[in-house]
Structure 1
Amino acid sequence: MTLQVTVPPEAPPGNYHFNVQVVSTEDTDNDVAQSPAVSFTVPQRAVPVVPPKTAFPWWAVAAGVAFLLVAGGGPGGPSRATIRSRCPRSSARSSPRR
C-alpha cells in the first residue's frame, strides 16, 4: 500500500507518525488489523519571498491633473470666462396682458 501525505503549509517542521487501521466489512468488531507506526518528516520551510510593493502610480495623478487643466482652460477653468447673454438687453418693459 502506498500513501501520500499532504501537509498544510502552516504545519510546524518535525517528525510525525500515524497508524493505518484496516477493518473487515463482514465482521467489523472482531476482524481488525493495525499497521506498525508509519513516520514522516516535515522539513523546515524556507522563508517565503514576499515581492516588493509596487509604488503608487503618481504619473497617473499628474496626467489626470494635466488633462483637467487642458480641458478646463487652465487653473480658473470656465468659471473665469466671461459669460455673455444671448439675448440683448431691452430697456422696454413688457406690460401685463389683459
Structure 2
Amino acid sequence: MELLGEYIGLEGRRQQLRVPCEAPGVTDPFQSLLSGVAQMRELVTELFGSQVQQEAQDRVTAAPDEALDGDDEDDSEDENNTDNRTNSDGPSAKRQKTPS
C-alpha cells in the first residue's frame, strides 16, 4: 500500500509525492497507513517550507524596499489620514485632584 499526492505549482509545474505505507515490523494495516500518513505530512511540510522560502526570497529580490517594510499597505494612506487626531475642543481626559 502507498499514498500518492500531486502538487501543481503556480507555474503549472507538477510534483508527485509518493510514500510507501509499510512500516518495518508492523502487521496491522491501519498502523502502516498511519505511518504513511505521517511520512506524507513530513514531505508536504518540507515541500511547502521550501516553496515559502523561495517566495520570500523572490519578494526580497523583486522589491527590497517593500520587503523590509513588512506591510503591504500603501504608506501614503497613513500620511493622509486625519481622522485619528485628538479633539482639543473637549475637556481634558485627566481627572481633577480634589483636596483631601
- TM-score, normalization by structure 2: 0.24
| Greater helix share, structure number | 2
